[in-house]
């Protein structure tokens, strides 16, 4: 059965919360400018150094460190579009970024999969990317898709295989977090052009966007930054994701880590605007924590405030924000930890209104896929979405006529008003599934059953045959050219 | 031999003061102290104390790393004197460390290097973005007991396999064991590429390295 997915259900928060005051935001921004001007950021790319040099930045070709004066930063920031469109295969699912609307995605780039039926844990593969794209396609909470796991059997071109598997299994926008390198990105642009129809359409409604990680402290990745320039020139939105780790790759205090991560992001954003003025870009800062006893990477310390204030930092620059939610450190799905850690995430992020947010569905600190985890995370999302909706107080919802009709001592079950509203006002979630004995079911089991149902029943509209063939042709050319390192 | 100087050496390690540790090493040489005594009776008790405090949770990683750096600084001063005297300190093994080609993530690998040095290994840290050829050449040159390969990205961890395959071809695997690490590395991956060891953090890496040496 080929079906169109249900309409998207983004978060439209009726409320706003400020994590950082204007004074704090200004101070953080000043710190970023100070770092950019006086400490600098390493750009291990001749092309990037040339662009900076041509525009008057202070470039040291020997150590590849670029120092950018504030005037150049602000000049570059003037050409950044505040909002843009992230296109989908079907226009109905396009994401028009705008104030007050937040679209969530899946988590991405996991390396292990726990089999739904057997519980066996194995390395991830391309088929898993497609399988989870179908689940994401079905869920209204998922606005766009991050390939959830790595297509490990595909070797060096795995990131391109991941976007192909995604487009073959979802009509929604695809955002890659793994494509790196000049040639890889040129192939990705070619593939995205096949989906969009033309280079012009690609600019108007890009069906692909890219997240490029910076390297803390204060470095860019050679392949990452060179690929980003290719994407930006083609009009494909590029986001820069800094992941400062408190205590190891960043100061052990929030503010210092955030300023440093911000400097990494802004330096890359400036480069994109110098190469391609007006290029759509976004800002993402996901601080982590190093366990002080092992150095191990921890996504959720008990104080994870930094996850939300960074969204305000992005907006302070006039940039859209990719917020960070979910990605529990729990080794398994369905544990107390896996719910407790992300429980407040969608609510707290929603209160700051990032334009886009990652990502549902992985455990073990973003590395292990439990197919049912996305349904559990989805439940938290839908709770937050409800909490952030303003309560209606009007004639209809006050139901004064009904109250008068029932009067003291009666009941409301036989009222037309009750019949009309009960389906929408008492929204049921994963914890309200009844079994054959009218007892509430174990929500983890219910989630497993739901994901099974989606996989059995939801088959998104396939790409047309010509597009499929064209993607396959481009992929095999990429495999031939850069497929070194294939695993089989 | 000055008891006071030996105590100060241990304290410089506990305090994580690299410059103090270095100055004390110079003082010891000037005073004609046996450099091996300086290491074993001066600095090592400090390393052991920090290690014990770390093991029972009284000190954290920054203290451990700073102690390791202080130890490295002292050894850098004392080692040439040891060699002059035709002696050598006891080392647990030789380790060549690198982040694989295409990947410039450094912190995890460097942390492992510091921990291994502090534990008594001789560490050759080749840095980041290092080709298989360079890693293997260094391993052969120094007669490495262990090669440690770091990769943070799913796209670069395939290079770990390439290094192992190249080592296999050269028949190096009998003498040299391979440890791998990095966020995407799992036990499945370790088995698949036939590495000898893997750990999720720098502290466990030291245990793993010691086990590999014992087992070889």
Domain match, B26 and B52 both: yes
Overall average pLDDT of the B143-163 stretch:
91
- Does the pLDDT value for residue A359 go beyond 60? yes
Task: Collect all residues of chain A within an 8 Å Cβ-Cβ radius of residue B102.
Answer: 223
In this complex, do A293 and B192 lie within 8 Å of one another by their Cβ atoms?
no
State the number of CA atoms in the 13 A half-sphere of A278 facing the CB: 4
Domain match, A180 and A247 both: yes
Which of B25, B51, B84 is a domain's end point?
Answer: B84
Domain match, A382 and A453 both: no
B116 within domain boundaries = yes
- Does the pLDDT value for residue A485 go beyond 80? no
Provide the residue range defining the domain that includes A162. 85-387
Task: Collect all residues of chain A within an 8 Å Cβ-Cβ radius of residue B105.
Answer: 215
Mutation to test the A interface, candidates B66, B118, B155, B164, most A Cβ within 10 Å: B155
In this complex, do A295 and B201 lie within 8 Å of one another by their Cβ atoms?
yes
Domain match, B177 and B196 both: yes
Domain match, A423 and A286 both: no
Domain match, A259 and A218 both: yes
In this complex, do A248 and B186 lie within 8 Å of one another by their Cβ atoms?
no
Instruction: Count up the domains in chain B and report the number.
Output: 2
Q: Tell me which residue in A178, A219, A294 faces B155 most closely, judged by beta carbons.
A: A178
Quote the tokens at residue A451: 């994901």
Which residue is closest to B189 within chain A, CA to CA? A123
Task: Band the pLDDT of B216: cuts 50, 70, 90.
Answer: low
Domain match, A364 and A280 both: yes
Domain match, B55 and B22 both: yes
Task: Collect all residues of chain A within an 8 Å Cβ-Cβ radius of residue B108.
Answer: 295
Residues 6+ apart with CB under 8 A from A420: none
Q: At what angle do helices B18-30 and B3-15 cross, to 10 degrees?
A: 160
Interface TM-score (ipTM) > 0.90: no
- The pLDDT score that the predictor gives to residue A2 is 66
Domain match, A225 and A364 both: yes
A335 within domain boundaries = yes
Domain match, A101 and A158 both: yes
Domain match, A250 and A229 both: yes
- The pLDDT score that the predictor gives to residue A257 is 96
Task: Say how far residue A261 (Cα) sits from the centre of its chain.
Answer: 18
Domain match, B77 and B111 both: no
Overall average pLDDT of the A57-79 stretch:
98
B52 within domain boundaries = yes
B149 within domain boundaries = yes
Q: Tell me which residue in A109, A248, A249 faces B154 most closely, judged by beta carbons.
A: A109
Domain match, A408 and A366 both: no
Domain match, B138 and B199 both: yes
Contacts with A, B 103-122, CB within 8 Å: 104-105, 107-108, 111
Domain match, B79 and B102 both: no
Domain match, B145 and B47 both: no
Give the ranges where A139-253 is alpha helix by DSSP (H): 158-167, 182-196, 199-204, 222-234
Domain match, B127 and B107 both: yes
Which of A387, A417, A439 is a domain's end point?
Answer: A387
- The pLDDT score that the predictor gives to residue A484 is 55
Domain match, A373 and A401 both: no
Contacts with A, B 3-42, CB within 8 Å: none
Work out the minimum CA distance from A244 to partner chain B, whole angstroms.
11
CATH number at residue B62: 1.10.1240.10
B66 within domain boundaries = yes
Mutation to test the A interface, candidates B106, B184, B189, most A Cβ within 10 Å: B184
Domain match, B76 and B133 both: no
Q: Tell me which residue in B111, B189, B202 faces A123 most closely, judged by beta carbons.
A: B189
Q: Tell me which residue in B102, B186, B200 faces A296 most closely, judged by beta carbons.
A: B200
Q: How many CB atoms lie within 10 A of CB A466?
A: 9
Chain mean pLDDT for chain B: 91
Domain match, B210 and B105 both: yes
Which residue is closest to B112 within chain A, CA to CA? A295
Which of A334, A369, A387 is a domain's end point?
Answer: A387
Chain mean pLDDT for chain A: 95
Domain match, B104 and B35 both: no
Domain match, A308 and A444 both: no
In this complex, do B201 and A111 lie within 8 Å of one another by their Cβ atoms?
no
Overall average pLDDT of the A191-216 stretch:
97
Domain match, A157 and A306 both: yes
Domain match, B47 and B14 both: yes
Q: Is residue A124 a contact partner of residue B186, using CB atoms and an 8 Å limit?
A: no
A8 within domain boundaries = no
A244 within domain boundaries = yes
Which residue is closest to A247 within chain B, CA to CA? B62
Check residues B61 and B194 and name the one with the higher pLDDT: B194
B89 within domain boundaries = no
Q: Is residue A367 a contact partner of residue A333, using CB atoms and an 8 Å limit?
A: no
Percent residues over pLDDT 70 in chain A: 99
In this complex, do A487 and B161 lie within 8 Å of one another by their Cβ atoms?
yes
B104 within domain boundaries = yes
Which of A359, A387, A415 is a domain's end point?
Answer: A387
CA dihedral A198, A204, A207, A210 (to 10 degrees): 110
3 state SS of A480: helix
pLDDT tens-digit profile of A472-483? 999 999 999 998
CATH number at residue A187: 3.20.20.480
In this complex, do A111 and B189 lie within 8 Å of one another by their Cβ atoms?
yes
Provide the residue range defining the domain that includes B32. 3-84
User: Quick one: which of A353, A363, A358, A345 has its CA closest to A305?
Assistant: A345
Instruction: Count up the domains in chain A and report the number.
Output: 2
- Does the pLDDT value for residue A405 go beyond 80? yes
Give the ranges where A362-464 is alpha helix by DSSP (H): 373-387, 395-398, 400-406, 416-425, 443-457
Q: Is residue B199 a contact partner of residue A296, using CB atoms and an 8 Å limit?
A: no
Of A81-95, A292-306, A424-438, B177-191, where does mean pLDDT reach its minimum?
A292-306
- Does the pLDDT value for residue B89 go beyond 90? no
Kindly list the residues of chain A whose beta carbon comes within 8 Å of any beta carbon in chain B.
Answer: 44, 109, 111-112, 121-123, 150, 152, 155-156, 158-159, 178, 180, 215, 219, 221-223, 245, 247-249, 252, 290-297, 367, 485, 487
A15 within domain boundaries = no
Task: Collect all residues of chain A within an 8 Å Cβ-Cβ radius of residue B207.
Answer: none
Mutation to test the B interface, candidates A113, A296, A485, A488, most B Cβ within 10 Å: A485
Q: Residue A344: what are its φ and ψ, rounded to 5°?
A: -90, -10
Check residues A1 and A86 and name the one with the higher pLDDT: A86
Which of B84, B105, B129 is a domain's end point?
Answer: B84
Which of B50, B84, B118 is a domain's end point?
Answer: B84
In this complex, do B61 and A294 lie within 8 Å of one another by their Cβ atoms?
yes
A332 within domain boundaries = yes
A3 within domain boundaries = no
């Amino acid at each position: 059965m080929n079906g169109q997915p249900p309409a998207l259900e983004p978060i439209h928060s009726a409320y706003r919360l400020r994590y950082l005051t204007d004074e704090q935001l200004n101070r953080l921004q000043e710190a970023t400018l100070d770092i950019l001007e006086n400490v600098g950021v390493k750009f291990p790319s001749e092309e990037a150094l040339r662009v900076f040099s041509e525009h008057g930045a202070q470039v040291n070709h020997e150590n590849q460190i670029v120092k950018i004066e504030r005037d150049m930063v602000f000049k570059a920031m003037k050409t950044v579009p505040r909002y843009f469109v992230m296109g989908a295969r079907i226009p109905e699912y396009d994401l028009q970024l705008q104030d007050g609307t937040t679209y969530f995605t899946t988590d991405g780039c996991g390396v292990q999969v726990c089999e739904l039926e057997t519980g066996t844990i194995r390395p991830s593969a391309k088929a898993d990317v497609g399988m989870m794209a179908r689940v994401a396609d079905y869920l209204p909470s998922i606005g766009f898709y991050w390939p959830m796991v790595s297509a490990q059997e595909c070797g060096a071109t795995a990131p391109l295989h991941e976007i192909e598997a995604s487009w073959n299994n979802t009509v929604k926008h695809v955002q890659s977090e793994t494509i790196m390198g000049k040639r890889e990105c040129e192939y990705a642009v070619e593939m995205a052009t096949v989906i969009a129809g033309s280079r012009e359409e690609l600019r108007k409604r890009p069906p692909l966007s890219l997240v490029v990680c910076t390297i803390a402290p204060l470095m860019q990745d050679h392949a990452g930054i060179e690929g980003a320039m290719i994407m930006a020139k083609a009009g494909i939105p590029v986001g820069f994701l800094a992941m400062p780790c408190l205590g190891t790759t960043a100061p052990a205090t929030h503010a210092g880590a955030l300023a440093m991560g911000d400097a990494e992001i802004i330096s890359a954003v400036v480069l994109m605007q110098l190469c391609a003025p007006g290029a759509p870009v976004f800002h993402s800062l996901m601080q982590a924590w190093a366990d002080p006893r092992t150095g191990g990477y921890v996504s959720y310390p008990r104080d994870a405030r930094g996850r939300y204030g960074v969204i305000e930092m992005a907006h302070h620059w006039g940039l859209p924000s990719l917020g960070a939610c979910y990605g529990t450190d729990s080794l398994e799905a369905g544990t107390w930890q896996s719910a407790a850690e992300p429980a407040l995430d969608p609510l707290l992020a929603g209160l700051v209104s990032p334009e886009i947010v990652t990502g549902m569905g992985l455990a073990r600190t973003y590395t292990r896929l439990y197919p049912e985890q996305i349904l559990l995370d989805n439940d938290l999302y839908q709770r937050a979405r409800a909490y952030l909706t303003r309560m209606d107080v009007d004639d209809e919802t006050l139901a004064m006529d009904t109250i008068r009709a029932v009067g003291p001592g009666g009941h409301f079950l036989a009222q037309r008003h009750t019949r009309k509203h009960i389906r929408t006002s008492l929204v049921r979630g994963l914890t309200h599934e009844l079994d054959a004995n009218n007892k509430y079911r174990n929500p983890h089991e219910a989630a497993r059953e739901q994901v099974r149902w989606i996989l059995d029943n939801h088959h998104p509209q396939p790409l047309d045959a010509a597009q499929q063939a064209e993607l396959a042709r481009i992929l095999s050319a990429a495999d031939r050219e850069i497929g070194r390192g294939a695993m089989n | 031999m000055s008891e006071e100087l030996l105590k100060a050496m241990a304290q410089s390690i506990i305090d994580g003061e690299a410059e103090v540790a270095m100055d004390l090493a110079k003082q010891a040489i000037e005073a004609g102290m046996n450099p091996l005594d300086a290491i074993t009776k001066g600095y090592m008790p400090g390393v052991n104390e920090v290690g014990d405090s770390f093991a029972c949770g009284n000190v954290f990683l920054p203290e451990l790393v700073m102690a390791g750096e202080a130890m490295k600084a002292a050894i850098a001063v004392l080692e040439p004197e040891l060699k002059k005297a035709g002696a050598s300190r006891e080392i647990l093994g030789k380790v060549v460390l690198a982040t694989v080609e295409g990947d410039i993530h450094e912190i995890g690998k460097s942390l492992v290097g510091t921990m291994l040095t502090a534990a008594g290994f001789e560490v050759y840290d080749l840095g980041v973005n290092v080709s298989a050829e360079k890693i293997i050449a260094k391993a052969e040159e120094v007669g490495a007991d262990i090669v440690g390969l770091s990769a943070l990205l799913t796209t670069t961890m395939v290079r770990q396999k390439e290094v192992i395959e190249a080592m296999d071809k050269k028949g190096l695997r009998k003498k040299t064991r391979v440890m791998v690490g990095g966020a995407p590395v799992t036990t499945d991956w370790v088995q698949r590429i036939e590495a000898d060891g893997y750990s999720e953090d720098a502290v466990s890496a030291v245990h793993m390295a010691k086990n590999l040496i014992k087992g070889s």
